[in-house]
Amino acid sequence: MMGFSLGFFMVLSVLVLVSATTSKYQTLPILSFDEGYSHLFGDNNLMILKDGKRVHISLNERSGAGFVSQDLYLHGFFSASIKLPADYTAGVVVAFYMSNGDMFEKNHDELDFEFLGNIRGKDWRIQTNIYGNGSTSTGREERYGLWFDPSEDFHQYSILWTDNLIIFYVDDVPIREIKRTEAMGGDFPSKPMSLYSTIWDGSTWATNGGKYKVNYKYAPYIAKFSDLVLHGCAVDPIELTSKKCDAGDSLTALNVQTSITSEQRSKMAKFRKNYLQYSYCYDRVRYATPLSECVIDPREAERLRGFDPVTFGGGRHHHGKRRHQHRSRASKAETTSL
């Protein structure tokens, strides 16, 4: 009897610990694929698993693959647990992003997570970016290393989007925060967007500016998705009016936390200290004066200057004008864990 009681107590303790450490995205509804998404491209390169809540998308010589949300959203919390392909992944790009490019071709909005593959022995990197009102000539890229191998297990990647704030999360760690400023104008995403997940061949730019390309000897490259969260203000695609809430409403009614706790802010500072590899806010070659939303941290500036004194110190070298040519030189992230 005592053994049963001790075992029960241990199980209960674990459950309490799990409950206490559950991240906020895990309290939001997880949809099956058919409830929230549609096949975008790739034919048989997209596979829905039996429970309907997991999906695999793959890249081979024939095609990549992707899926898209059935609804448009104006603000919300959007998340997926993702396991990236392993081994040699140079040139492979896995993207988890929001966009309305199919509706607004010349003035689209976009919020990006881009996962950039690498040669064997080198780590995947993450890039985030935002565009508003077609501002593709003004890249707002940031690039990071990670404190884990994203090909070994699933990790949660999330986007919080409100009318005046955007936060990118890895697991429950906010890695980037963008606050809307008056000077940004339409550069802050403000029109309804769909959520997309894709895998594709980015050989021309993704790894060392295109030096290393996709090697299909290692195909298929499979990105695995689970814990799909689409929790926001869905809008009618014709009227562009909200089904769930008015465009200006707080997301509190949807049980979405729209602020960063002091503990999360501390984790964000530590992440950026250890893993930030490039930020447009410090790129003196592209922007002689930082854009209005940039909050300059002298310690970040000094550390990035050590990585690349030309880009982050104001020297001169050539940058292309197309979207994916604005890339920093990758640097080895520190190994300190969060």
Query: Which residues does the annotation mark as catalytic?
Result: 110, 114
Q: Classify 65 as helix, strand or coil.
A: strand
In angstroms, rounded to a whole number, what is the distance separating the alpha carbons of residues 338 and 335? 10
Radius of gyration in angstroms for the set of CA atoms belonging to the chain, rounded to a whole number: 20
Instruction: Give the β-pairing of 276-279 and 55-59.
Output: unpaired
**Which residues does residue 199 pair with via DSSP β-bridges, in sequence order?**
65, 94
- Alpha helix positions (H), the chain: 2-21, 33-36, 262-275, 298-307, 309-313
Q: Are 215 and 206 within 8 A, CB to CB?
A: no
- Per-residue H/E/C for 105-158: CCCCCEEEEEEECCCCCCCCEEEEEEECCCCCCCCCCEEECCCCCCCCCCEEEE
Alpha-carbon gap, residue 313 to 310, rounded angstroms? 5
- Alpha-carbon distance of 170 to 126, in angstroms, equals 10
Neighbours of 203 (CB within 10 A): 17
Q: Which tokens sit at 217?
A: 């000897």
Hey, what are 70's tokens? 């059935």
The one-character DSSP state at 32 is P
Q: Assess contact for 192 and 72: CB atoms under 8 A.
A: yes
Sheet of 65-69, strands arranged across: 37-41, 65-69, 194-201, 92-99, 110-116, 125-131, 142-144, 276-279
